[in-house]
Structures are given as structure tokens and as C-alpha cells.
Amino acid sequence: MAIFKGSGVAIVTPFKEDGSVDYDRFREVIEFQIAGGTDCIIVCGTTGESSTLSHEEHLECIRFCTEVVNHRIPVVAGTGSNCTETAIYLSQEAEKFGVDGLLIVTPYYNKATQKGLIKHYTEVAASVKLPIIMYNVPSRTGTNIQPETAAYLVEHVENIVAIKEATGNLSQIARLMSLTKGKIDLYSGNDDQVVPILSLGGIGVISVLANVAPKETHEMVASYLGGDVEKARQIQIDAIPLCDALFCEVNPIPVKKAVELMGLCGGTLRMPLTEIEPEHEAKLKAAMTGFGVPLK
């Protein structure tokens, strides 16, 4: 059974002006997502600025999110690392908090061969009982999970069940689905490719867009999976200007500004991320207004 079907939000981590985690606003953001129809919360991913969280903060954010959600929808914890031992540690600790699944990014900076990826994912998976979503985002990590590698892992490792595909390469994704013959749960990792990936057998999205438009992102996937392809297609097309604006600078700079503009939480970022450029903020505001996102 899939961890979730539909729209999973790659949720932001609110910070106070002094840079500490703002748990009061984090609770509000979580409740906003659940009220908006989001089908799953992915905590401590790229959008959650996990790379600047200490291990203690990382785990506390996972624990807090799981506690607030309280089984109303699934929670998936980002516990990947470029160090296999660290990924195992974070994954085992997250499992103790009762999360529903893990999102494991490919090792970054030191990279890995395809053989290394197989060993990395196999060892992380063996350390827990939770289902695992592989996260393939070579633009950030410099490492691409080849379709043959993903197919091998899904075939040989019982709790590796899914992949978040953010390569942008639809031909590669089509090959993966051909090789796996329906044995892998496919999630779009790009908000501008949700419907195309659903058409290849995807069952959902792990979304930045959902931070600001949870209802519409949920409806896009639900409509497609429910057979209303035209409605899903129209939501996808209508969302393109906002998708573009949310990635006009490196994620999560624009989305952090977007949730601030909505009054959900402060837009504080941790270094080395910096405040959005004024011209990009103007573009973001226009795109949000155009898509019907209310500003404070």
C-alpha cells in the first residue's frame, strides 16, 4: 500500500528572527496544510532547510510535526544524508517518533556510483522497518539514480517502495516505469510536471507549490486520479506562472517569502540563503495574486 496518494507538501520550517525554530508558527503552518486538504506532510526536506538544521533540531522538528499531525494524515520525514551512517541514525530516530515513511535523498557532494547508491539505500533500508521514498534530484546532489538502479532496489529491497523524481527528464521517468512494471510508487518532484508524471503512472507530488496553494495542488492530483484529466490539466497550466515564480531563485527562498506574504509565518532564512531580490518578490506577488492566493 502506498504511503500516500495525492499532494504531499514539502513543508517549510518557520524560523524566528533570531534564527531559532518557531514552533508556534510551525503548528499554524501544519494546521493550514491539513485544513487545505493536503494528503501528506513531508518534514525536514530541502524546502524545510534541513541542511542548516542541527541533528537535534532536525529530529525535534520531525517529532513535533508528527505529534501535531497526530495521525490525521501521513507524515514522511526527510532523513537522508551524504553520510550513510548519519542517514541511518536520523532514520532510526525518526522511526521512533511514529512517522509513516522516510524520504532519502541521494548522497550529495561526495556523490556515489550506481553501485554505491545501491549499497547506501540498501543499508539505510535495512536499519528500519519504515517504507522509503528515494529522492532523485541531481540538480542539487550531482548524482542521478539511473532507472536500472531504482528498478533493482525496488525489486530487491522490500521497504524501498517509491521514488520522488525531480530530474525533469520525462524520458528517464518513462523508462523507470517500464522497467519496474508498476512495482514502484512514483511522485513528481517538480510542480510544473505533476500532470505529465501522473500520466506515466505517478500517484502524487511532493510539492513546494502546496505550501501556498494546498487546495489547488490536492485538487490537481485528485482530479487526475479520479478521471477528470481536463480539470487536472487546467490547474496545472494555470499554476505554471506561480511555479515559475516559486523557483525564480533557489528553493526555498521564494516560498519562504510567499508564506510570509500570506501571513502564515516569518520569512526568515538561514545562511547561506539570503532575502529574495525585490524584482523577484514583485514577480512572486503578481503570480500569487494571479493564482488566487490571498496576501495578508
181 labelled catalytic: no
Of residues 121, 135, 152, 187, which has the active-site annotation? 135
Query: What does the angle CA 110 – CA 113 – CA 116 come to, to the nearest 5 degrees?
Result: 85
Distance from C-alpha of 21 to C-alpha of 268, rounded to nearest angstrom: 10
Q: Please give the grid coordinates belonging to residue 97.
A: 517518533
Q: Which amino acid is at 51?
A: S
Distance CA 282, CA 168 (A): 27
Q: Exactly one of 121, 152, 164, 187 is catalytic; which is it?
A: 164
* Helix, strand, or coil (residue 135): strand
3-state secondary structure of 282: helix
Tell me how far apart the alpha carbons of residues 225 and 192 are, in angstroms, rounded to a whole number. Answer: 17
Cell reading at 233: 490539466
**How distant, in Å, are the alpha carbons of 37, 138, 190, 228 from that of 198?**
19, 21, 12, 12
Q: What residues pair up with 162 in beta bridges, in sequence order?
A: 133, 185
User: Is 109 considered catalytic here?
Assistant: no
Q: Which residues are catalytic?
A: 135, 164
